[in-house]
Chains A and B, each alone.
Chain A
Amino acid sequence: MDSSSTIKSTPLHEILKCHLIFVHGKGGVGKSTLAYSLSQILSESKKTLLVSIEDPTLDPGIKKTINARFDHLNNDSKKSFEEYISIKMGSPLLAKLFFQNKLMQYLASAAPGTRELTLLGKIWYELKSYDHVVVDMPATGHGLTMLQAVQNWAKLFKGSIFAKDSEEIIRTLNNPKKTGNVICALPEEMPLVESLELYESLGRIIPHPLVSFIANRVFPLAISNNEAPTSLKPYSETALEHVIQKNKLENDNLKQWGSFLFLKIPYFEPYSTAQIQNQMVDYLNQQLKENKA
Protein backbone atom coordinates (compact mmCIF):
# COMPACT_ATOMS: atom_id res chain seq x y z
CA MET A 1 0.00 0.00 0.00
CA ASP A 2 1.30 3.42 -0.94
CA SER A 3 1.45 6.07 1.73
CA SER A 4 -1.60 8.16 2.35
CA SER A 5 -0.02 11.09 0.52
CA THR A 6 -1.06 9.67 -2.86
CA ILE A 7 -4.67 9.34 -1.71
CA LYS A 8 -6.91 12.34 -1.71
CA SER A 9 -10.15 12.54 0.19
CA THR A 10 -12.63 14.99 -1.27
CA PRO A 11 -14.77 16.85 1.29
CA LEU A 12 -18.26 15.46 1.56
CA HIS A 13 -19.87 18.79 0.57
CA GLU A 14 -18.08 18.54 -2.81
CA ILE A 15 -19.35 14.99 -3.35
CA LEU A 16 -22.87 16.14 -2.50
CA LYS A 17 -22.79 18.46 -5.54
CA CYS A 18 -22.51 15.44 -7.86
CA HIS A 19 -25.43 14.19 -9.89
CA LEU A 20 -24.61 10.54 -9.22
CA ILE A 21 -23.20 9.40 -5.86
CA PHE A 22 -22.05 5.85 -5.15
CA VAL A 23 -21.78 4.73 -1.54
CA HIS A 24 -19.27 1.87 -1.30
CA GLY A 25 -18.09 -0.32 1.55
CA LYS A 26 -18.13 -3.80 3.00
CA GLY A 27 -21.26 -5.41 4.35
CA GLY A 28 -22.23 -4.42 7.87
CA VAL A 29 -20.48 -1.04 8.03
CA GLY A 30 -23.68 1.00 8.01
CA LYS A 31 -23.55 1.76 4.30
CA SER A 32 -27.33 1.64 3.83
CA THR A 33 -27.93 3.99 6.76
CA LEU A 34 -25.32 6.38 5.37
CA ALA A 35 -26.79 6.27 1.86
CA TYR A 36 -30.25 6.92 3.29
CA SER A 37 -28.99 9.82 5.42
CA LEU A 38 -27.15 11.43 2.48
CA SER A 39 -30.31 11.14 0.35
CA GLN A 40 -32.35 12.68 3.14
CA ILE A 41 -29.93 15.63 3.41
CA LEU A 42 -29.92 16.17 -0.38
CA SER A 43 -33.71 15.96 -0.59
CA GLU A 44 -34.05 18.89 1.82
CA SER A 45 -33.55 21.13 -1.24
CA LYS A 46 -33.18 18.88 -4.31
CA LYS A 47 -35.09 16.06 -5.99
CA THR A 48 -33.29 12.93 -4.90
CA LEU A 49 -33.49 9.23 -5.67
CA LEU A 50 -31.99 6.61 -3.38
CA VAL A 51 -31.24 3.34 -5.17
CA SER A 52 -30.83 0.04 -3.35
CA ILE A 53 -29.50 -2.91 -5.31
CA GLU A 54 -31.72 -5.98 -5.11
CA ASP A 55 -32.48 -5.59 -1.42
CA PRO A 56 -34.27 -8.84 -0.48
CA THR A 57 -36.25 -7.07 2.25
CA LEU A 58 -37.94 -4.70 -0.26
CA ASP A 59 -40.24 -5.36 -3.21
CA PRO A 60 -38.23 -5.87 -6.41
CA GLY A 61 -38.26 -2.99 -8.89
CA ILE A 62 -40.63 -0.83 -6.84
CA LYS A 63 -40.13 2.90 -6.39
CA LYS A 64 -41.40 4.24 -3.08
CA THR A 65 -42.07 7.90 -2.32
CA ILE A 66 -40.52 8.92 0.99
CA ASN A 67 -41.47 12.57 0.66
CA ALA A 68 -42.12 15.16 -2.08
CA ARG A 69 -38.47 15.30 -3.11
CA PHE A 70 -37.26 11.87 -1.99
CA ASP A 71 -37.88 8.57 -3.83
CA HIS A 72 -36.43 5.17 -3.00
CA LEU A 73 -36.02 2.52 -5.70
CA ASN A 74 -35.17 -1.12 -5.08
CA ASN A 75 -33.34 -1.80 -8.35
CA ASP A 76 -34.03 -5.28 -9.70
CA SER A 77 -32.00 -6.63 -12.61
CA LYS A 78 -34.79 -8.70 -14.16
CA LYS A 79 -37.33 -5.87 -14.07
CA SER A 80 -34.79 -3.35 -15.30
CA PHE A 81 -33.65 -5.62 -18.14
CA GLU A 82 -37.21 -5.99 -19.41
CA GLU A 83 -37.73 -2.26 -19.15
CA TYR A 84 -34.50 -1.56 -21.01
CA ILE A 85 -35.21 -3.98 -23.86
CA SER A 86 -38.77 -2.66 -24.23
CA ILE A 87 -37.48 0.90 -24.55
CA LYS A 88 -34.80 -0.13 -27.03
CA MET A 89 -37.20 -2.12 -29.20
CA GLY A 90 -39.91 0.49 -29.06
CA SER A 91 -42.49 -2.29 -29.15
CA PRO A 92 -43.75 -4.20 -26.13
CA LEU A 93 -44.84 -7.04 -28.42
CA LEU A 94 -41.38 -7.56 -29.87
CA ALA A 95 -39.93 -7.32 -26.40
CA LYS A 96 -42.31 -10.02 -25.22
CA LEU A 97 -41.21 -12.30 -28.06
CA PHE A 98 -37.64 -11.65 -27.04
CA PHE A 99 -38.20 -12.52 -23.39
CA GLN A 100 -40.22 -15.61 -24.05
CA ASN A 101 -37.43 -17.07 -26.11
CA LYS A 102 -35.63 -19.60 -23.97
CA LEU A 103 -32.29 -19.02 -25.59
CA MET A 104 -32.52 -15.32 -24.79
CA GLN A 105 -33.37 -16.15 -21.20
CA TYR A 106 -30.22 -18.25 -20.94
CA LEU A 107 -28.12 -15.58 -22.53
CA ALA A 108 -29.53 -12.92 -20.27
CA SER A 109 -28.69 -14.99 -17.21
CA ALA A 110 -25.36 -16.29 -18.45
CA ALA A 111 -23.67 -13.54 -20.45
CA PRO A 112 -21.07 -12.16 -18.08
CA GLY A 113 -22.18 -8.96 -16.43
CA THR A 114 -25.67 -8.71 -17.94
CA ARG A 115 -27.15 -8.40 -14.50
CA GLU A 116 -24.72 -5.71 -13.41
CA LEU A 117 -25.01 -3.78 -16.64
CA THR A 118 -28.78 -3.69 -16.42
CA LEU A 119 -28.67 -2.49 -12.83
CA LEU A 120 -26.28 0.30 -13.72
CA GLY A 121 -28.15 1.08 -16.93
CA LYS A 122 -31.31 1.62 -14.89
CA ILE A 123 -29.52 3.99 -12.50
CA TRP A 124 -28.14 5.93 -15.44
CA TYR A 125 -31.60 6.10 -16.99
CA GLU A 126 -33.09 7.52 -13.78
CA LEU A 127 -30.48 10.32 -13.65
CA LYS A 128 -32.46 12.49 -16.04
CA SER A 129 -35.46 12.65 -13.69
CA TYR A 130 -33.53 13.63 -10.54
CA ASP A 131 -31.09 16.26 -9.30
CA HIS A 132 -29.25 13.60 -7.32
CA VAL A 133 -29.16 9.82 -7.45
CA VAL A 134 -27.52 8.10 -4.45
CA VAL A 135 -26.65 4.44 -4.90
CA ASP A 136 -26.31 2.10 -1.93
CA MET A 137 -23.78 -0.20 -3.62
CA PRO A 138 -23.64 -3.93 -2.97
CA ALA A 139 -20.74 -5.11 -0.75
CA THR A 140 -17.29 -4.23 -2.08
CA GLY A 141 -16.49 -6.89 -4.69
CA HIS A 142 -20.00 -6.97 -6.09
CA GLY A 143 -20.16 -3.21 -6.43
CA LEU A 144 -16.97 -3.16 -8.45
CA THR A 145 -18.33 -5.98 -10.62
CA MET A 146 -21.12 -3.63 -11.57
CA LEU A 147 -18.74 -0.91 -12.71
CA GLN A 148 -16.44 -3.41 -14.41
CA ALA A 149 -19.35 -4.94 -16.34
CA VAL A 150 -20.04 -1.75 -18.30
CA GLN A 151 -16.41 -1.57 -19.40
CA ASN A 152 -16.59 -5.21 -20.51
CA TRP A 153 -19.74 -4.66 -22.49
CA ALA A 154 -18.41 -1.61 -24.26
CA LYS A 155 -15.56 -3.82 -25.50
CA LEU A 156 -17.52 -7.02 -26.17
CA PHE A 157 -20.24 -5.45 -28.26
CA LYS A 158 -18.30 -2.84 -30.19
CA GLY A 159 -20.48 -0.76 -32.50
CA SER A 160 -23.78 -2.05 -31.11
CA ILE A 161 -26.57 -0.28 -29.24
CA PHE A 162 -25.40 -1.96 -26.01
CA ALA A 163 -21.89 -0.65 -26.54
CA LYS A 164 -23.06 2.89 -27.25
CA ASP A 165 -25.11 2.95 -24.08
CA SER A 166 -22.24 1.44 -22.11
CA GLU A 167 -19.86 4.09 -23.44
CA GLU A 168 -22.27 6.81 -22.44
CA ILE A 169 -22.49 5.37 -18.93
CA ILE A 170 -18.69 5.23 -18.77
CA ARG A 171 -18.48 8.91 -19.74
CA THR A 172 -20.83 9.80 -16.89
CA LEU A 173 -18.84 7.66 -14.45
CA ASN A 174 -15.55 9.18 -15.55
CA ASN A 175 -16.75 12.75 -15.22
CA PRO A 176 -15.85 13.97 -11.70
CA LYS A 177 -18.33 16.82 -12.06
CA LYS A 178 -21.12 14.27 -12.43
CA THR A 179 -20.06 11.27 -10.39
CA GLY A 180 -18.82 11.14 -6.81
CA ASN A 181 -18.03 8.27 -4.46
CA VAL A 182 -18.24 7.76 -0.74
CA ILE A 183 -16.21 4.93 0.74
CA CYS A 184 -17.43 3.93 4.17
CA ALA A 185 -15.41 1.79 6.60
CA LEU A 186 -15.25 0.93 10.27
CA PRO A 187 -12.33 2.55 12.10
CA GLU A 188 -10.41 -0.71 12.48
CA GLU A 189 -7.04 -1.30 10.95
CA MET A 190 -7.88 -3.78 8.23
CA PRO A 191 -11.17 -2.23 7.13
CA LEU A 192 -9.40 1.13 6.77
CA VAL A 193 -6.64 -0.45 4.70
CA GLU A 194 -9.27 -2.22 2.65
CA SER A 195 -11.11 1.01 1.96
CA LEU A 196 -7.90 2.38 0.47
CA GLU A 197 -7.51 -0.81 -1.56
CA LEU A 198 -11.04 -0.25 -2.77
CA TYR A 199 -10.01 3.25 -3.82
CA GLU A 200 -7.18 1.74 -5.88
CA SER A 201 -9.46 -0.86 -7.47
CA LEU A 202 -11.96 1.86 -8.23
CA GLY A 203 -9.18 3.88 -9.87
CA ARG A 204 -8.45 0.99 -12.21
CA ILE A 205 -12.04 1.11 -13.44
CA ILE A 206 -12.71 4.87 -13.25
CA PRO A 207 -9.59 7.00 -13.66
CA HIS A 208 -9.23 9.72 -10.97
CA PRO A 209 -12.40 8.98 -9.02
CA LEU A 210 -13.71 11.68 -6.68
CA VAL A 211 -13.86 9.98 -3.28
CA SER A 212 -14.85 10.99 0.22
CA PHE A 213 -13.65 8.59 2.93
CA ILE A 214 -15.85 8.06 5.95
CA ALA A 215 -15.05 6.18 9.16
CA ASN A 216 -18.35 5.10 10.64
CA ARG A 217 -19.17 4.05 14.22
CA VAL A 218 -16.21 5.69 15.87
CA PHE A 219 -16.59 4.89 19.57
CA PRO A 220 -17.42 7.93 21.70
CA LEU A 221 -15.33 8.57 24.81
CA ALA A 222 -15.89 11.39 27.26
CA ILE A 223 -12.97 10.99 29.61
CA SER A 224 -9.49 11.51 28.28
CA ASN A 225 -7.78 8.25 27.51
CA ASN A 226 -4.40 9.80 26.80
CA GLU A 227 -2.89 8.37 29.95
CA ALA A 228 -4.39 4.94 29.53
CA PRO A 229 -1.62 2.47 28.80
CA THR A 230 -2.02 0.28 25.75
CA SER A 231 -3.04 -3.06 27.13
CA LEU A 232 -0.89 -6.03 26.32
CA LYS A 233 -3.69 -8.43 27.12
CA PRO A 234 -5.54 -9.81 24.11
CA TYR A 235 -8.89 -9.54 25.91
CA SER A 236 -10.34 -6.85 28.18
CA GLU A 237 -12.15 -7.77 31.36
CA THR A 238 -14.46 -4.83 31.89
CA ALA A 239 -16.62 -2.88 29.48
CA LEU A 240 -14.82 0.35 30.43
CA GLU A 241 -11.44 -1.19 29.70
CA HIS A 242 -12.69 -2.48 26.35
CA VAL A 243 -14.08 0.92 25.36
CA ILE A 244 -10.85 2.70 26.30
CA GLN A 245 -8.74 0.22 24.35
CA LYS A 246 -11.10 0.33 21.40
CA ASN A 247 -11.09 4.11 21.34
CA LYS A 248 -7.30 4.22 21.55
CA LEU A 249 -6.99 1.67 18.77
CA GLU A 250 -9.43 3.51 16.53
CA ASN A 251 -7.67 6.82 17.02
CA ASP A 252 -4.29 5.27 16.26
CA ASN A 253 -5.69 3.63 13.16
CA LEU A 254 -7.23 6.85 11.92
CA LYS A 255 -4.10 8.90 12.68
CA GLN A 256 -2.07 6.53 10.56
CA TRP A 257 -3.83 7.83 7.47
CA GLY A 258 -3.57 11.50 8.35
CA SER A 259 -6.09 13.25 10.53
CA PHE A 260 -8.23 14.54 7.66
CA LEU A 261 -8.44 11.55 5.35
CA PHE A 262 -11.46 10.05 7.07
CA LEU A 263 -14.54 11.99 8.10
CA LYS A 264 -15.56 10.49 11.43
CA ILE A 265 -19.15 9.58 12.24
CA PRO A 266 -19.69 8.51 15.85
CA TYR A 267 -21.31 5.28 16.93
CA PHE A 268 -24.93 6.19 17.53
CA GLU A 269 -26.69 4.31 20.26
CA PRO A 270 -28.37 1.44 18.47
CA TYR A 271 -32.06 1.98 19.21
CA SER A 272 -33.67 1.51 15.79
CA THR A 273 -32.70 2.06 12.18
CA ALA A 274 -34.90 5.15 11.91
CA GLN A 275 -33.40 6.68 15.06
CA ILE A 276 -29.87 6.02 13.84
CA GLN A 277 -30.76 7.62 10.49
CA ASN A 278 -32.10 10.72 12.26
CA GLN A 279 -29.01 11.03 14.43
CA MET A 280 -26.75 10.59 11.39
CA VAL A 281 -28.65 13.21 9.37
CA ASP A 282 -28.39 15.70 12.26
CA TYR A 283 -24.73 14.97 12.78
CA LEU A 284 -23.80 15.29 9.09
CA ASN A 285 -25.87 18.45 8.67
CA GLN A 286 -24.06 19.95 11.66
CA GLN A 287 -20.67 19.00 10.22
CA LEU A 288 -21.59 20.41 6.80
CA LYS A 289 -22.81 23.66 8.38
CA GLU A 290 -19.58 24.07 10.31
CA ASN A 291 -17.55 23.34 7.15
CA LYS A 292 -16.12 20.23 8.75
CA ALA A 293 -17.27 17.79 6.10
Chain B
Amino acid sequence: MNSDNGNFRPCGDACGTMPSCAPLSVPYVPFQQEGSQKYDQTNALANGTLFPGLNLPFHLKVDAGSFPDNQSTQLQALLFVVTELGMYLDTHKDDAEAFQLFRQYAQLAKEGKRRYEEMHGPLTQLSAGQDAAYRWLDDPWPWDFHQEGGAD
Protein backbone atom coordinates (compact mmCIF):
# COMPACT_ATOMS: atom_id res chain seq x y z
CA MET B 1 0.00 0.00 0.00
CA ASN B 2 2.56 2.49 -1.16
CA SER B 3 1.68 6.05 -1.93
CA ASP B 4 3.11 8.64 -4.23
CA ASN B 5 0.62 11.40 -4.75
CA GLY B 6 3.03 14.05 -5.86
CA ASN B 7 3.38 15.73 -2.46
CA PHE B 8 6.60 17.59 -1.96
CA ARG B 9 8.55 15.29 0.31
CA PRO B 10 12.05 16.60 0.99
CA CYS B 11 13.10 13.63 3.16
CA GLY B 12 13.14 9.87 2.89
CA ASP B 13 10.25 7.83 4.24
CA ALA B 14 11.89 7.12 7.60
CA CYS B 15 12.66 10.84 8.14
CA GLY B 16 10.60 13.92 8.89
CA THR B 17 10.76 17.69 8.64
CA MET B 18 11.64 20.21 11.34
CA PRO B 19 10.37 23.78 11.74
CA SER B 20 12.64 26.30 10.01
CA CYS B 21 12.23 28.72 12.89
CA ALA B 22 11.49 27.55 16.41
CA PRO B 23 11.67 28.91 19.96
CA LEU B 24 14.99 28.42 21.71
CA SER B 25 15.72 25.76 24.31
CA VAL B 26 12.78 23.60 23.27
CA PRO B 27 13.43 20.10 21.96
CA TYR B 28 11.59 19.02 18.84
CA VAL B 29 10.84 15.74 17.15
CA PRO B 30 10.69 15.55 13.35
CA PHE B 31 7.26 16.03 11.82
CA GLN B 32 6.00 13.08 9.78
CA GLN B 33 5.65 13.89 6.08
CA GLU B 34 2.45 13.48 4.12
CA GLY B 35 2.08 10.45 1.88
CA SER B 36 4.16 8.14 4.07
CA GLN B 37 4.29 4.47 3.17
CA LYS B 38 1.76 2.27 4.94
CA TYR B 39 1.40 -1.40 5.85
CA ASP B 40 -1.73 -3.37 5.10
CA GLN B 41 -3.96 -3.96 8.12
CA THR B 42 -2.58 -7.34 9.23
CA ASN B 43 1.01 -6.18 9.09
CA ALA B 44 0.07 -2.93 10.80
CA LEU B 45 -1.40 -4.83 13.75
CA ALA B 46 1.56 -7.21 13.89
CA ASN B 47 4.09 -4.39 13.83
CA GLY B 48 2.21 -2.13 16.18
CA THR B 49 2.23 0.76 13.73
CA LEU B 50 0.72 1.56 10.36
CA PHE B 51 3.86 3.27 9.10
CA PRO B 52 7.07 1.42 8.15
CA GLY B 53 8.92 4.69 8.77
CA LEU B 54 7.85 4.62 12.43
CA ASN B 55 8.69 0.92 12.87
CA LEU B 56 11.98 1.31 14.68
CA PRO B 57 14.42 -1.60 14.83
CA PHE B 58 14.57 -2.07 18.60
CA HIS B 59 11.34 -4.03 18.72
CA LEU B 60 11.03 -7.81 18.70
CA LYS B 61 10.38 -9.12 15.25
CA VAL B 62 6.75 -10.13 14.98
CA ASP B 63 5.58 -12.55 12.36
CA ALA B 64 2.29 -11.30 11.00
CA GLY B 65 1.44 -14.78 9.71
CA SER B 66 1.36 -16.19 13.24
CA PHE B 67 -1.86 -14.41 14.14
CA PRO B 68 -4.87 -16.69 14.19
CA ASP B 69 -6.90 -15.98 11.08
CA ASN B 70 -10.28 -15.40 12.67
CA GLN B 71 -12.93 -12.71 12.64
CA SER B 72 -11.73 -11.30 15.91
CA THR B 73 -8.20 -10.64 14.64
CA GLN B 74 -9.46 -9.30 11.34
CA LEU B 75 -11.66 -6.82 13.17
CA GLN B 76 -8.79 -5.87 15.47
CA ALA B 77 -6.61 -5.23 12.41
CA LEU B 78 -9.22 -3.04 10.72
CA LEU B 79 -9.91 -1.01 13.84
CA PHE B 80 -6.19 -0.65 14.49
CA VAL B 81 -5.72 0.96 11.08
CA VAL B 82 -8.63 3.30 11.79
CA THR B 83 -7.01 4.29 15.11
CA GLU B 84 -3.60 4.79 13.50
CA LEU B 85 -4.94 6.79 10.56
CA GLY B 86 -7.03 8.83 12.98
CA MET B 87 -3.97 9.75 15.03
CA TYR B 88 -2.10 10.62 11.84
CA LEU B 89 -4.96 12.79 10.57
CA ASP B 90 -5.08 14.61 13.90
CA THR B 91 -1.75 16.15 12.97
CA HIS B 92 -2.13 16.01 9.15
CA LYS B 93 -5.73 16.97 8.58
CA ASP B 94 -5.08 18.22 5.01
CA ASP B 95 -3.68 14.91 3.74
CA ALA B 96 -6.51 14.08 1.31
CA GLU B 97 -5.11 10.68 0.39
CA ALA B 98 -4.90 9.59 4.03
CA PHE B 99 -8.44 10.80 4.64
CA GLN B 100 -9.68 8.81 1.64
CA LEU B 101 -8.00 5.72 3.10
CA PHE B 102 -9.51 6.54 6.50
CA ARG B 103 -12.98 6.61 4.95
CA GLN B 104 -12.44 3.24 3.29
CA TYR B 105 -11.19 1.60 6.47
CA ALA B 106 -13.91 3.17 8.59
CA GLN B 107 -16.48 1.65 6.23
CA LEU B 108 -14.73 -1.75 6.34
CA ALA B 109 -14.55 -1.63 10.13
CA LYS B 110 -18.22 -0.74 10.41
CA GLU B 111 -19.13 -3.67 8.17
CA GLY B 112 -16.71 -5.93 10.06
CA LYS B 113 -18.30 -5.00 13.39
CA ARG B 114 -21.74 -5.74 12.05
CA ARG B 115 -20.70 -9.20 10.84
CA TYR B 116 -18.82 -9.90 14.08
CA GLU B 117 -21.85 -9.02 16.17
CA GLU B 118 -24.07 -11.30 14.07
CA MET B 119 -21.75 -14.22 14.81
CA HIS B 120 -20.50 -13.52 18.33
CA GLY B 121 -23.03 -11.26 20.00
CA PRO B 122 -22.95 -7.55 20.83
CA LEU B 123 -19.68 -5.64 21.14
CA THR B 124 -21.23 -2.80 23.09
CA GLN B 125 -24.08 -2.66 25.51
CA LEU B 126 -25.87 -0.33 23.14
CA SER B 127 -25.89 -2.87 20.31
CA ALA B 128 -27.22 -5.47 22.75
CA GLY B 129 -30.50 -3.63 22.38
CA GLN B 130 -30.91 -4.87 18.82
CA ASP B 131 -31.14 -8.54 19.80
CA ALA B 132 -34.29 -10.43 20.68
CA ALA B 133 -32.79 -11.51 24.02
CA TYR B 134 -30.25 -9.84 26.30
CA ARG B 135 -26.97 -11.43 25.18
CA TRP B 136 -24.57 -8.87 26.62
CA LEU B 137 -23.60 -11.08 29.55
CA ASP B 138 -22.91 -14.15 27.41
CA ASP B 139 -19.39 -15.56 27.32
CA PRO B 140 -16.79 -15.16 26.02
CA TRP B 141 -15.44 -11.97 27.49
CA PRO B 142 -12.14 -10.61 26.14
CA TRP B 143 -10.25 -12.28 28.96
CA ASP B 144 -11.70 -15.74 28.33
CA PHE B 145 -8.83 -17.63 26.80
CA HIS B 146 -9.38 -19.71 23.68
CA GLN B 147 -6.78 -22.10 22.33
CA GLU B 148 -4.59 -20.36 19.74
CA GLY B 149 -6.82 -17.37 19.60
CA GLY B 150 -6.90 -15.31 22.72
CA ALA B 151 -10.37 -13.89 22.96
CA ASP B 152 -12.08 -15.29 19.90
Instruction: Tell me, yes or no, whether A binds B.
Output: no
